[in-house]
Amino acid sequence: MDVHDLIIRCRRDDEVFEFLPESKLKSALPRCLLHDYTHWYDTKTRIIEIRPLSDPWTPNLGKNWSTEFQLNGGVSFSRLHESGLRQFLIDPTHAISRTIHKVFSPLEQSVFDLFISFNYEQSNDQKPQPPTISLPRYNLTFSLTAHGDLHCLSHRGYLVDATQDIGTLYGLSNMLVLRSPSAASQKRRLIIPIGGFETSSDGDTHPNVTIAIDPDATSVKYHLYEVDDILGRLLDTTLLSRLYRLYLHSLTSHQLPDPLLNCTGTEEAVKGLAQGETFSFQSLPPEEIALLEEIGKLTPLRYLYSSQTKSMETVQRNITLPPTSEHYGFAAAVREIWDYWMSIRVFHPDSRIPEGANEESFLPKYENHVHKNLTRRSAVRNILYAPMHCLGRDAGVPPGEDESHTARDCAMTQTSIDREAGVFEMSKLVHKWSNDLDVTTRLSDIIQKWGQIPACKPDLSLNYSSEWVDDSLESTWRSLYDLCRRASKDVDRSQLAFVLATLVYHNPGQRELCVTLLAFATNPIFSHPDYNAPNSGDLDFDYGETPSESRLRSLVTANTVSFEDSPEQAELLQLGWNQARERAMRSRYESRLQQDIESYVEYMLQRREQSHLPPCALANFDLFNQSELLAELNALFEKCSQNRCVLYSL
């Protein structure tokens, strides 16, 4: 909608300035420029000015948002900064705004809740700077980088992650995932707004959870979580954010375990409520109490069907949630937290305690003796599907007998004994730093069997990194080889002992390779430049050390000239076509083509240990596509040359 058309319909001719009601501008301005501002229209200059309520009567076209400055002949809202840059507002109804809103729609449902602008400097070759996106209600600001990433200015060092899947909280509609730009140690953060919960599920599909955000609210708070991929969890900062997270885990739970947690959301919530971190508080404000009550209500209420029966029961459950979100242990777990608060609140007289709060005021229906007995009976019946360790200290369930369990590192198993022996042996060898080591004599064959070896990772060092154990030995071999060659006995011996012992523990079947890596460090000959690994990308040993005859013949044959483009065809057209002459020319073409292929393959076999072929190598062969063939042959020769360098350095 044109802004001036919007204004003219509400002008009054007897005034120079007109006051514009907010209702007329809702479809033209972001919401943050509607509240706490007055809007004026100059009937003479046709300029709209947005003034703050703190100074509504003083015109200031330089500082305030106005339509004084037109960009490319169009009406636009802008303001002038002290630095000389002019900030322009992008229309919320513009296609750019709608595209950007798709990224932030989980946090803001309306595009008018975003504030999108860009700076423009006339001396800057008439080019606008990348746009800046603000979420005023969240106090979040993002800028578009030259690579097309959205950099979060409110959380420095983080970008909006293109992959919004964190491995848990599936079904939650309102969240935004940030990531650090470093690919080596990528950190991720999760923004989840605070609000009420709306759940839906038909029992067959995954539950959907939406956080209800007041559309008229001027400020929205949010919780920030760190994604810990190593331990498989979300890290919270306060008790409120912890309870909020556990409640969301339970609401989004499914029959299958979450990839990040390696358990279901309900199991994570029950486990988290019982951990010591949940009890590490000095006071329990009303917000936390309300969340505890909501979590406790995820335990279904159970009643006897009638006073005449002791077996039939009525179960009251939440029909908007699947059974996977409910657990008999929720009520008992939050009750323990409440009882702990009741036991320590006498030491905190200044804490805000709700009026009438006592032990009986917290989830009273769940303290009913009949409900507890029926819940206990249900827990015993479902022991195969849900553990019984979370029923609470007063549940009265007999603990049962312990079961024998052999730990992974138990000294009674042969596998663990072999691993520990390998760690001890490797540590001892590194400490001795001997040149006489029992290395493998088949290193070249082993590397060639690996096929492909990734390039060196310059960010890796002898400091501990999860990549040493997360990735296979062949994927880090080139980095390990280079690090071991440059290792010093006086400086790196302790770190090298730790890294190689870790590799032996995680790869007990590759002990000889780990000893060989140590030999690269202890033998000074490998520090010579002749043993430098080639500075190249991934290696592919499928190409071999030298080009094979079959591969060369295949490349040459694929880049031959057809008869229609050959000199024989040109000569046929020059002499005049007849059937007998064409047969003769085709026969001569086939004969010469086979002869050229054999000659050129023989020529390349004599030079297959070179890294590339000279451009004149195809000068006498006019039946080949010379530029394409030479490029493919040089790529093949270069790969083989790199493979030879690696195998020679070993």
Q: What is the pLDDT of residues 353-379, one digit of tens each?
A: 555 555 567 888 888 888 888 888 887
522-544: average pLDDT? 70
What's the pLDDT score for residue 354? 55
If phi over 0 gives left and psi between -120 and 50 gives alpha, with beta otherwise, what is residue 158? beta
The pLDDT value recorded for residue 592 is: 80
CB atoms within 10 A of CB 312: 9
What string of DSSP letters covers 550-574? HHHHHHHHHTBPPGGGSHHHHHHHH
The two three-digit tokens of residue 506, written as one number: 């995680």
pLDDT at 293: 92
> Domain extents for the chain?
3-155, 176-381, 414-436+453-528, 542-649
Phi, psi of 30 (to 5 degrees): -65, 155
The residue behind tokens 């065809």 is 569
Residue 538: its pLDDT value, please?
Answer: 65
Using the predicted structure, report yes or no on whether residue 536 has a pLDDT greater than 60: yes
- Which range, of 52-61, 327-336, 345-354, 626-635, averages the lowest pLDDT? 345-354
For residues 572 and 393, give the distance between their C-alpha atoms in angstroms, rounded to a whole number. Answer: 101
Average pLDDT over all residues of the chain: 79
Looking at the chain, how many residues does it have?
Answer: 650
pLDDT at 430 over 60: yes
Measured CA to CA, the distance from residue 139 to residue 77 in angstroms comes to 22
| CA dist 569 → 246, 506, 540, 589 (Å) | 79, 66, 41, 9
Tokens representing 470 are 């997360």
**Residue 225, beta-bridge partner list:** 190
Per-residue pLDDT averaged across 113-122, rounded? Answer: 83
The pLDDT assigned to 166 comes to 92
Contact by Cβ (8 Å): 89, 65: yes
Residue 398: per-residue pLDDT: 45
User: Mean pLDDT over residues 261-274, rounded?
Assistant: 91
Q: How far is CA 416 from the centre of its chain?
A: 35
Contacts 24+ apart (CB under 8 A), 25-29: 26/112, 27/1, 27/93, 28/1, 28/3, 28/91, 28/92, 28/93, 29/77, 29/89, 29/92, 29/112
> 613 or 155, which is more confident?
155
Q: What is the pLDDT of residues 564-593, one digit of tens each?
A: 777 877 777 877 878 887 788 888 888 887
What does the radius of gyration of the chain's CA atoms come to, in whole angstroms?
Answer: 37
Task: Please report, as a single letter, which amino acid is at residue 597.
Answer: I
- Top-confidence residue, 622 or 43: 43
Q: Give the single-character DSSP code of 92.
A: T
The average pLDDT across 538-562 equals 73
Nearest to 471 by CA among 184, 165, 182, 167: 184
0.85 exceeded by pTM: no
Please state the rounded mean pLDDT for residues 495-523.
83
d(CA 179, CA 186): 7
Spatial CB neighbours of 145, under 8 Å, sequence gap ≥ 6 = 130, 151, 159
**pLDDT confidence of residue 295:** 92
Find the mean pLDDT for residues 587-613: 76
Give the model's confidence band at 407: pLDDT under 50 very low, under 70 low, under 90 confident, else very high: low
Of residues 625 and 64, the one with the higher pLDDT is: 64
Q: What's the maximum distance between 2 C-alpha atoms anywhere in the chain?
A: 115
Question: Is residue 247 scored above 90 in pLDDT?
Answer: yes
Beta partners for residue 188, in sequence order: 179, 227
Token pair 């409440």 in the structure block, residue: 338
Whole-number percent of the chain with pLDDT over 70: 80
The pair of structure tokens assigned to 69 is 């400055």
HSE-up of 466 (CA within 13 Å, CB side)? Answer: 8
pLDDT of 235 reads: 94
Say how far apart CA 473 and CA 461 lie, in whole Å. 15
The listed range with the strongest mean pLDDT (21-25, 88-92, 291-295, 492-496) is: 291-295
Q: 3-state SS of the chain: helix, strand, coil percent to 5?
A: 40, 15, 45
pLDDT of 5 reads 43
**Looking at residue 124, what is its pLDDT?**
53
Query: Residue 575 and residue 567: Cα distance in Å, rounded?
Result: 12
Which of 289-303, 337-351, 452-466 is least confident? 452-466
Residues 6+ apart with CB under 8 A from 328: 299, 300, 375, 378, 379, 382, 386, 391
Confidence (pLDDT) at 567? 80
pLDDT digits over 292-311, tens only? 999 999 888 888 888 777 77
